[in-house]
C-alpha cells in the first residue's frame, strides 16, 4: 500500500481525546498532520504535545471550517507522493489495526475494480454514542458500495481527490464529505465500504428517537449548524439528483427529518427553526 498520510482537523480539541487519537494513528505507521482551525490559545499546549509526539501541526489564525483543514492534509499527501489520505475527526476513536484493515480492503477493491475506480474506502459501521449507524449499500462486482460517507475514518484516493478539486472550502463544514463523494462519483469513482470495520464517532450531540416506527437520529446541532446543513444540502441537491434521484430524495428526507426533530424534540427549538429557515434563503455556489 505504501505511505499513508492521515489528517485530523481540530478546533478547541479535548486534550486527552486528541492525544489519544494522535498516539493511535502514529502507532499504525501513518504520516500524521493535525490542522487547527483557529482555536483560542487554550489549545496551544495540546497542539504542542501533539507535535512532540510526532505529528506535523499546522495552526491557522482564523476559523474557516473543516474543508480547509482537510485540504492541508491533501496537500501534504500530494507532496509526500502518498496514494491515500485518511481523514479522522478529533473526537473519533479507531481500533489498533484500523489502518491495516482499511488499506488491505483498499488493495482488494483496487484488484477487483481496477486502479482508477476507487474514490474512497470507509468503515461500514459508525459507532455513534447514541447507537450504531450504517449506510445503505448495493453490490458492485461483489463489493459493497454506497453513495456517500462521513469523512471521519475514510481513506480517500489522493489522485481522485486532486482531480475533483479537493474538499469544497465554500461549504466550510457541513456536507463537505458528501460533496467530495458526489464529485468522485461523477468522475466514475466508487465509494466502497468495509463491512466488518467500525469507527467510533459522535454525530453532534445525537440521540436516537422513534418516529412512525422508525429509529432516527436527532443530532442536537446548534442553530448555526442547522443553517449550514440546510443551505449546503440544498446546494448539492442538483448534482445529487443528476446522479441518483433515489439517493437525493433520501438525503433531502433526512434533512427534513433532522429539521423536524430540531424544532420539536431538541432544545433551542425556536432558534433552530429560524436558523433552518435562514438556510433556505442563503444559497452558496462554487
pTM exceeding the 0.85 threshold for the entire prediction: yes
Q: CB of 58 within 8 A of CB of 36?
A: yes
HSE-CB at 106 with a 13 A cutoff on CA atoms is 26
User: What's the CATH code, domain 4-200?
Assistant: 3.90.550.60
**How far is 254 from 150, CA to CA, in rounded Å?**
14
For residue 95, give the C-alpha cell.
481500533
Query: What pLDDT digit, counting tens, does each position of 180-191 carry?
Result: 999 999 999 999
The mean pLDDT value of the chain amounts to 91
Is residue 206 predicted with pLDDT exceeding 70? no
pLDDT of residue 286: 44
What is the SS3 assignment for 92?
Answer: coil
What percent of the chain is predicted at pLDDT more than 90?
A: 76
Residue 96: Cβ within 10 Å count:
10
Residue 78 burial (10 A CB sphere; 0-12, 13-18, 19+): middle
Domain assignments of the chain as residue spans, ordered by start = 4-200, 207-281
pLDDT of residue 92: 94
Is residue 57 predicted with pLDDT exceeding 70? yes
Q: Report H helices in the chain.
A: 15-26, 44-52, 66-79, 98-113, 158-163, 176-186, 223-243, 245-264, 269-281
Residue 117: Cβ within 10 Å count:
18
pLDDT of residue 210: 67
**How far is 3 from 81, CA to CA, in rounded Å?**
8
Mean pLDDT computed over 212-226? 76
HSE-CB at 207 with a 13 A cutoff on CA atoms is 7
pLDDT of residue 223: 87
Query: What pLDDT digit, counting tens, does each position of 66-105 carry?
Result: 999 999 999 999 999 999 999 999 999 999 999 999 999 9
Which of the pair, 109 or 205, is modelled with greater confidence? 109
For residue 1, give the C-alpha cell.
500500500
pLDDT of residue 114: 94
What is the SS3 assignment for 54?
Answer: coil
The C-alpha cell 474506502 sits at: 121
Q: With bands split at pLDDT 50, 70 and 90, how would you rate the model's confidence at 285?
A: very low
Q: With bands split at pLDDT 50, 70 and 90, how would you rate the model's confidence at 106?
A: very high
Is residue 262 predicted with pLDDT exceeding 60? yes
For residue 256, give the C-alpha cell.
427534513
Residue 11: Cβ within 10 Å count:
18
How do 190-200 and 143-146 pair as beta strands? Answer: antiparallel
Q: CB of 84 within 8 A of CB of 160?
A: no
Amino acid at each position: 500500500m505504501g505511505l499513508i498520510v492521515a489528517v485530523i482537523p481540530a478546533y478547541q480539541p479535548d486534550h486527552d481525546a486528541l492525544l489519544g487519537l494522535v498516539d493511535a494513528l502514529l502507532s499504525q505507521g501513518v504520516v500524521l498532520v493535525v490542522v487547527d482551525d483557529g482555536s483560542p490559545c487554550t489549545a496551544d499546549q495540546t497542539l504542542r504535545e501533539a507535535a512532540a509526539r510526532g505529528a506535523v501541526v499546522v495552526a491557522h489564525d482564523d476559523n474557516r471550517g473543516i474543508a480547509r483543514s482537510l485540504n492541508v492534509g491533501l496537500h501534504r499527501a500530494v507532496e509526500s507522493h502518498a496514494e491515500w489520505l485518511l481523514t479522522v475527526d478529533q473526537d473519533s476513536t479507531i481500533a489498533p489495526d484500523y489502518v491495516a484493515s482499511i488499506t488491505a480492503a483498499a488493495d482488494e477493491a483496487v484488484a477487483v475494480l481496477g486502479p482508477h475506480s476507487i474514490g474512497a474506502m470507509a468503515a461500514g459501521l459508525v459507532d455513534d454514542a447514541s447507537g450504531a449507524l450504517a449506510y445503505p449499500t448495493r453490490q458492485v462486482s461483489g463489493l459493497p458500495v454506497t453513495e456517500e460517507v462521513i469523512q471521519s475514518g475514510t481513506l480517500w484516493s489522493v489522485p481522485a481527490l486532486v482531480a475533483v478539486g479537493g474538499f469544497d472550502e465554500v461549504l466550510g463544514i457541513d456536507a463537505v464529505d458528501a460533496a467530495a463523494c458526489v464529485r468522485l462519483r461523477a468522475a466514475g469513482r466508487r465509494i466502497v465500504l468495509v463491512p466488518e470495520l467500525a469507527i467510533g464517532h459522535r454525530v453532534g450531540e445525537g440521540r436516537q428517537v422513534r418516529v412512525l416506527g422508525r429509529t432516527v437520529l436527532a443530532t442536537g446541532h446548534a442553530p448555526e449548524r442547522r443553517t449550514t446543513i440546510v443551505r449546503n444540502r440544498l446546494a448539492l441537491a442538483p448534482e445529487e439528483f443528476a446522479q441518483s434521484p433515489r439517493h437525493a430524495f433520501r438525503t433531502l428526507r433526512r434533512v427534513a427529518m433532522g429539521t423536524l426533530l430540531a424544532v420539536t424534540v431538541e432544545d433551542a427549538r425556536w432558534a433552530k427553526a429560524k436558523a433552518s429557515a435562514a438556510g433556505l434563503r442563503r444559497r452558496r455556489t462554487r
